Amino acid sequence: MSAIRLLVLGAVRQRGRAHGYQVRNDLEHWGAHEWSNTKPGSIYHALKQMAKQGLLVAREVAPSTVGGPPRTEYEITDRGTQEFLALLREALVSHDEKMDALSAGIGFIVHLPREEAVALLKKRVERLEEWRRSVTDYYAPEGGPGQFGHIGEIMHLWVHSADAGAEWTRGLIDRIENGAYVFEGEERVHASTPAPPVSSLES
């Protein structure tokens, strides 16, 4: 999974209706161009591809209000919303996704109900622990450590990053369980912190 579909679907969904340039600007505004592959080409390609697959519908629109080339606007379909949620869940649980997918997932996490967010993050921790086990099992066979020479350092790195990832995830679970942020279907009732809603993402 790459992060771009999740990001583009999420951007279109928040706008209700958007053309490529708006999506591009939104993503840039979120800083996404610094940590993910959100080049113009990728965005326009994703839009076209997802329209072809029925996740978006294209509405042809006359030349831009302020002049410039004509543009195509898109809206998300029901299937697109399903896909968005599926990608979001996947991004949150799977450890092998790169940082870009996870970052995007966190960005959209409040679009899920609080309980589900917590459940997914707990699953993430499980997956990380499982992965850690599989690495250490492979790393410490008969013959003791040191079998692998400097290659052992790679496994060391993986274990280290699995631990760090699990620790961060546990911290996030705690904060969410203690009422931080405003999730889907809530209206600030949980907010023990004066954290703003998604509005910091928009505009």
What are the residues binding DNA (CB under 7 A)? 2, 4, 19-22, 24-25, 37, 39-42, 44-46, 49, 64-72
Structure tokens that stand for 186 in this block:
């809530």
Least gap, CB of 16 to its own copies (angstroms) = 21
Q: Which of 115, 108, 96 is nearest to 162 (CA)?
A: 96
CB atoms within 10 A of CB 69: 7
Q: Is there binding between residue 194 and its own copies (CB under 8 A)? A: yes
From candidates 40, 63, 141, 196, binder to its own copies by CB under 8 A: 196
Instruction: Tell me which of its own copies, DNA, none is bound by residue 29, counting a contact when its beta carbon lies within the kind-specific cut-off of 5 to 8 angstroms.
Output: none
Quick check: helix, strand or coil at residue 76?
strand
Minimum Å distance from CB 66 to DNA? 6
CB-wise, 40 or 196, nearer to DNA?
A: 40
- Residue 123 as a binder of its own copies (CB under 8 A): the answer is no
Residue 35 C-beta: closest distance to DNA, Å: 11
Between 98 and 111, CB nearer to DNA: 98
Find which of its own copies, DNA, none residue 39 binds, CB within 5 to 8 Å per kind.
Answer: DNA
Kindly tell me which of 61 and 154 has the beta carbon lying closer to its own copies: 154
Within 10 Å of residue 139's Cβ, how many Cβ atoms? 17
- In the numeric block, the tokens 């996030």 are attached to 172
The answer to whether 192 and 178 are in contact (CB under 8 A) is: yes
* Contact residue for its own copies among 25, 64, 82, 147 (CB under 8 A): 147
Give residues with Cβ within 8 angstroms of 92, minimum separation 6.
102, 105, 106, 109, 117, 120, 121, 124
φ/ψ of residue 71, rounded to 5? -140, 160
